[in-house]
Structure 1
Amino acid sequence: MPETVVLIAGFLLGFYMSWNIGANDVANSMASAVGAKAITVRQAVVIAGILNIVGAVFIGSHVTQTIRKGIVSTEVLADPHLALVGALSALLAASLWISFATWRSLPVSTTHSIVGSMIGFGIMASGFSVINWGKLGQVVASWVISPVFAMVLSFLMFKFIVGLILSREDPFERAIRWSPLFVGIAFFVVLLCFLFKTPLGKTFSISTPMALSLAFGLALIFGFIGKFLLVKFIPSDNPDGTEEVFRKIQIGTSCYVALAQGANDVANAIGPLALVYFLVKDGNVGASLPVPWFLLLFGGIGIALGVAMAGERVMKTIGEKITTLTNTRGFAVDFSAATTVMVASKMGLPVSTTHAAVGGVLGVGFAGGVDAVNVGIIGKIVLYWVLTVPAAALTSMFLFLILEPIL
């Protein structure tokens, strides 16, 4: 098959994968803000669209691992033909699974989808010996670790807000008084996430003590700036002033989520696309690749369009169908999800933002009693999580068989 046709196919599939990341992964990260009415669906689409492109281009990784998470040995890249077939199979397989989940309005991990599809490619190319079973075990463990950790954290955070503010006589006055704490911890977690999790933060190579000190100092400053702005813009006679305080904070955390997701998740689509691009261009690849800025921009635009065109389905599932969200609950969800992802990244565990977001929503749901949680929808979500890796792997194997004789 002519190289130009292969390259066009790679770009189309890379764009389709980016679109799916927007429709499913980014949508579920914005869901708690939409469900809590901090922002509308349309505002979520605009925020996520713009900030994902900015995150992908300016903070996204300019060097991407050709095999995600080290689960498949790089030996399978030795044969350029097999590597090319595998990259296209993996992109299409992961995309099809995520599209199916989005159609069913259920959140799945795009990272685990691409991991599963790369496993399928690895097995077809070189057999089971190329699979790093220990790493795969970590992925399986993350299905439990990240949602449970986020669930406990959001439960405790919401109970803390109830005890400190919501159950007291003048909750609005107390919300304003304690706002530097909540604005501060939101900024603290966000800043640490950027320093520890994003490719931009890693290039600075700031030590952990230095990162903690920097984040704490800036969080302290932003905490009091936040209080000043809240007093200025929320009238004291606002009947819903307490929730309004947390609504303003949640808009900020939503912006962070969109920016970070563009920086981190663009690699799920652009990693295999970069592999195809360099195989066609140079004829071979190494374990890691330099990624041109236009590929990052291409992926960012795909993510933005995915949120705009199909993001509402998954947003509604997490934001409305699991439990009823208020702004105070939504803040607890965002805080717990961001903290879970940050801590896990620092520990080197392959957790999913999707799993952390759902765990956070569950935590605030359980804080209102088991009856406040839709157990049926949770069962469906967990089933799709478990099916993600094997479904993507089997689809990738099937596509490999079809594409290998053609290419």
Structure 2
Amino acid sequence: MPVGMAAPRMAYACDPDRSRGRLVDEPPSKTRSPFRRDCDRVIHSTAFRRLKHKTQVFVFHEGDHYRTRLSHTLEVAQIARALARQLGLDEDLTETLALAHDLGHPPFGHAGERALDACLRAHGGFDHNAQTLRVVTSLEHRYPGFDGLNLTWESLEGIVKHNGPLTDRCGKPVGRYRDHGVPLGISEYDRTWNLELWSYASLEAQVAAISDDIAYDAHDIDDGLRAGLFTVDDLNVMPLTAGMIADIAKRYPALDDDRRGAELVRELISYLIEAVFSESRRRLDAARPQSVQDVRNHGSVLIAFRPEAQDAEQMIKIFLKQRMYRHPRVMRVMGEAESILFDLFARYQQSPHDLPPEWLRRDGEGADSQTDRARRIGNFIAGMTDRLAITEHQRLFESTPDLR
């Protein structure tokens, strides 16, 4: 098949004509498939627009050229669609899952998630995947007939399970959920509509998940270089990037550092996409799934890096953790960002009327338990942009960290 041509839809792809439907029944669209409709609803959601001012690694006012959650999300979607096209998957569902995967992230990136998880520890904790599910099933208020976006079962399944099963067939939590259990938002919704937490998700969801890894690796290198946290030559400690840097030097011996870095990032993305395509093609040829249900029941992921690329990708993650995420400058700013969310949570608990009116308990809703109030505050803070969190802190407190 020529490079760039779309593969025909394969039997193991999700078929929009065979979707399990929506929790609230709606008339079908005359012009869009169910999965295209899901994708459009995500794009038009309030939560999607807020990603523009949510931290990826650097807080929004540190520079216009650093990634935000929105620009990262768009890059994930581009990579995911490229892989879905080559593998004969449903591109609309793949794009939906790529665009939705970070809707539940709070302000200030992983620092915000750590802060909210600590604040909510006595009330079920905080998990950004569970929060994404809350956003698309209840927190968006745009439609007259339902809360949330009323996405298809396949989209909800992919949001929840893109990193693999959450339980075994008996309902016992597995993997990262073994110690603390399935997040509250997911377990509660699963009782409303069974998402089969024991099975693997569709190939479209698996593609969206691995595309997130590719985008993180390549573009966090790009942002780290731009911020001066490390240099292109510092990346010579890893065999994969060292080889790419040497090849770039041979082809472009007089290239400046900015363009060397950009060329390295471009080549890294291409390498990782090809490594996923070739390994996934090999696994699919061996497994020979004849339906999406065969994919769910397969027992292991079918979308993956080649072994040597997996090792290289893990080395990149280790490098970024040491040289970027744990850099003293980044750690200081993120520590101050956490303190902003701790302050806001405590203030709203102590003085609920500091919340916007729409986030207060309404008459007739029953008693306002500590857990109900804490979850409502958590939902409000999780939906904040970095900018709103800083503005709210300035409104309620005499002194606010500068985060620079």
Q: What is the TM-score normalised by the length of structure 2?
A: 0.30
Q: Which has the higher helix share?
A: 1
Bigger relative contact order, structure 1 or 2 (CA pairs below 8 A, ≥6 apart)? 1
Q: What is the TM-score normalised by the length of structure 1?
A: 0.30
